């Protein structure tokens, strides 16, 4: 949140990107980001306590996930017939939406793609919560 406030401050004083109605999308994006991040944290946090090698696997998964997410390239580069598979990754619509809001680049993903990202993020959160809850007693024993 501190970084977001600093970013908004610098955008406001820069003057090239005036704050407008597109910034109303930020709370929705923050909720989706928090849902996804907490789900991944719950899932891998629970698994990492029990399975020590998960730390090595997590680094590999994060590296692959970074290349699978449109951080340095726009999602519009994907062919239209494969774009649905591209948007199963919740970070795809999040990154494109943040890019559209703050940098005024690209286009806002459709509501269908944003809904798909929300559904996948919710599934990841529920999987993380169920995994964490199932391993809670084991985690207490290990800690």
Report pLDDT digits (tens) over 94-112.
Answer: 999 988 888 888 888 889 8
Cα(112)–Cα(122) distance, integer angstroms: 15
Provide the residue range defining the domain that includes 50. Answer: 24-142
Residue 71, in any domain of the structure: yes
The reply to whether the predicted model has a pTM over 0.85 is no
Residue 16, in any domain of the structure: no
Residue 5, in any domain of the structure: no
Cα(109)–Cα(120) distance, integer angstroms: 15
Residue 39, in any domain of the structure: yes
Residue 1, in any domain of the structure: no
Span 72-92, mean pLDDT? Answer: 84
pLDDT at 38: 95
1-36 burial by CB neighbour count: b if 16+ within 10 A, else e?
eeeeeeeeeebeeeeeeeeeeeeeeeeebeebbebb
Cα(86)–Cα(113) distance, integer angstroms: 10
Number of domains in the chain: 1
Token pair for 141: 């024993």
Longest dimension (CA), the chain: 55
């Amino acid at each position: 949140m501190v970084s977001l406030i600093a970013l908004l401050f610098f955008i406001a004083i820069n003057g090239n990107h005036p704050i407008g109605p597109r910034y109303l999308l930020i709370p929705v994006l923050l909720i989706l980001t928090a849902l996804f991040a907490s789900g991944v944290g719950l899932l891998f946090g629970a698994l990492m306590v029990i399975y020590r090698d998960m730390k090595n696997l997590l680094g590999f998964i994060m590296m692959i996930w970074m290349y699978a997410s449109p951080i340095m390239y726009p999602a519009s580069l994907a062919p239209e017939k494969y774009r649905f598979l591209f948007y199963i990754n919740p970070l795809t619509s999040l990154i494109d939406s943040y890019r559209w809001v703050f940098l005024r680049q690209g286009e806002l993903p459709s509501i269908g793609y944003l809904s798909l990202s929300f559904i996948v993020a919710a599934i990841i959160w529920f999987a993380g919560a169920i995994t964490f809850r199932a391993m809670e007693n084991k985690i207490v024993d290990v800690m």
